Amino acid sequence: MEKVMRLASEKGVVIFTKSSCCLCYAVNILFQELGIRPMVHEIDQDPEGRDMEKALMRLGCTAPVPAVFIGGKLMGSTNEIMSLHLSGSLTQLLKPYHQSLS
Amino acid sequence: MNSPSAQFVSSRRMSVYDPIHQINMWGEGFKSNGNLSASLPLIDEADLKFDSSQSEDASHGILGTSHKYDQEANRPIDKIQRRLAQNREAARKSRLRKKAYVQQLESSRLKLMQLEQELERTRQQGMYMGGGLDSNNMCFAGPVNSGITAFEMEYGHWVDEQNRQISEMRNALNAHIGDIELRILVEGMMNHYAEIYRMKSAAAKADVFYVMSGMWKTTAERFFLWIGGFRPSELLKILGPMIEPLTEQQRLDIDNLGQSCQQAEDALSQGMDKLRQTLADSVAAGQFIEGTYIPQMASAMEKLDALVSFVNQADHLRQETLQQMSRILTIRQSARCLLALGEYFQRLRALSSLWSNRPREPA
């Protein structure tokens, strides 16, 4: 759990994924379309991956991956991100972390 | 006379089953119906041998025999007896033939009933074919998928209810009913859409390819298919002009919603492309050894599970779009929007019908 929280705060936007997960890939694409380069942690490539997966579930994530943290706070999985985006809230949340594509 | 031939003649006279008679009758029966039952006495070799050995014995014996035979057969009472015996035999044969024929009819009838049942079952499944093509290029229905059959039946009811709600909304708007009553109708329609997404989610678990391909939809609807349904951004573009007049804020909000939809759709589409690629790679990596695929196919099966989550995400996007629209618009605008949406799909379905029933050029 500590590892998850530590990694989640390392950068503004952090996504926990699995290398084989195409839905995680889609969420990553969305962030890049919005001009964000999130930090991606592939938990299936991590030796403590199983524990991290359990920790994410305990934090209330409906699916362990993709798990999106913004500003160190868990936003949710794909469903939540999509809803946030359509309501316009996601862009607001991402403002401080927006990287200019120069 | 005690010659063997005379004995032979008398025994022949007595017995109905003499070889010559046998040959004639059996020949007749055999010609008319090949399905004679086994109980029919057949000529065996012993009888034939008996005949030929008779003829070999002594020619004058044969002559003597036939001479005797004719003499005796010319007696009227024998003629009648023989005729009666022949009739009895013919009747017996006829009964056997009839029995065989009736048995054939019965089994054909049974087979017909089975085929009709199967046809009914396939018809009820609609276009759903669980199997694929066999080596003769014939489409065959696989094992019945009850989840899909249930979905198709429920979908029929869903469309009926949808049509009813559309008419009700049209009448309500024309009658200029108040906002409170209108809200009830709007919420009813929104809940009805939520219902179809619930149904689709269950159907996706039963057969994700069925849902992905929009198999329950009409052909024109399927033309616009995107991950098992309509593309939200496209729909917003169509509906936008139909709900004028809008305030500037509303116009801006709808534009932003459209853009967000587009981005979300692009992300999901790219995810789908990646899924297709990895699935293709998995299938390519699987090897064919003596009729079975080695475990590489297990990873392909996992990919198919991922497909279910994509379908669910696409439906979630559709539902979110509808809900966002209802937040941006007033109640009356929402009502008009939902009416326009419903009527659009009705027209699309009607187009499918028109198209499939169009008069074709003679070949």
pLDDT at B295: 57
Peptide bond into B41 cis (omega under 30): no
User: Is residue B349 domain-resident?
Assistant: yes
Average pLDDT over residues A93-99: 82
Give the rounded percent of residues in chain A with a pLDDT score beyond 90.
48
* CA nearest to A90 within chain B: B260
Identify each DSSP E strand in chain B by its residue range: 288-289, 292-293
> Strand A39-42 and strand A13-17: pairing?
parallel
What is the reported pLDDT for A62? 80
CB atoms within 10 A of CB B210: 23
- Alpha carbons B87 and B284: distance in angstroms, whole number: 75
B40, part of any domain: no
Predicted TM-score (pTM) of the model is: 0.67
Q: Is residue B26 part of a domain?
A: no
Judge whether B319 is closer than 8 Å to chain A, CB to CB: no
End-to-end CA distance of chain A: 36
Q: What is the mean pLDDT of chain A?
A: 88
pLDDT of residue B5: 45
For the question of an ipTM over 0.85, the answer is: yes
What is the set of domains in chain A, with CATH numbers? 1-95 (3.40.30.10)
Whether A30 and B320 lie within 8 Å, measured CB to CB: no
Intervals of chain B under pLDDT 70: 1-74, 121-144, 286-297, 363
Interface of A to B at Cβ within 8 Å reads 20-23, 25-27, 29-30, 33-34, 63, 78-79, 82-83, 85-88, 90
Nearest CA in chain A to B326: A87
**pLDDT for the residue numbered A99:** 62
In the chain, the amino acid numbered B33 is N
**Domain range spanning residue B173?**
146-356
What is the DSSP code (8-state) at residue B74?
T
- What is the Cα–Cα distance from B347 to B221, expressed in whole angstroms? 10
Q: Which residue of B has its CA nearest to A85?
A: B260
Report whether the peptide linkage leading into residue A64 is cis, meaning its omega lies within 30 degrees of zero. Answer: no
Which residues are registered as beta bridge partners of B289? Answer: B292
d(CA B241, CA B89): 91
Interchain proximity B270–A25, CB inside 8 Å: yes
Is residue A60 over pLDDT 50?
yes
DSSP B35-51: T--TTSPPP-HHHHHHH
Q: Does the beta-carbon distance from A23 to B309 stay under 8 Å?
A: yes
Q: How far is the alpha carbon of A85 from chain B, nearest alpha carbon, in Å?
A: 6
pLDDT tens digit string along B11-57?
Answer: 444 444 454 444 444 444 444 444 444 444 444 444 444 444 444 44
Cβ neighbours of A41 (radius 10 Å)? 22
Residue B98 lies in a domain: no
Helix axes B296-328, B331-356, angle to 10 degrees: 130
Give the pLDDT confidence score for residue B162 in this predicted structure. 96
pLDDT value for B142: 54
Structural domain includes residue B95: no
* Residue B81 to residues A40, B13, B84, B166, B227, Cα–Cα distance (Å): 107, 10, 5, 88, 87
Interface A-B, measured as beta-carbon pairs within 8 A, has a size of 68
Mean pLDDT of A79-97: 92
Q: Residue A86 pLDDT more than 80? A: yes
Distance from CA of A33 to the nearest CA of B (A): 7
Domains contained in chain B, number: 1
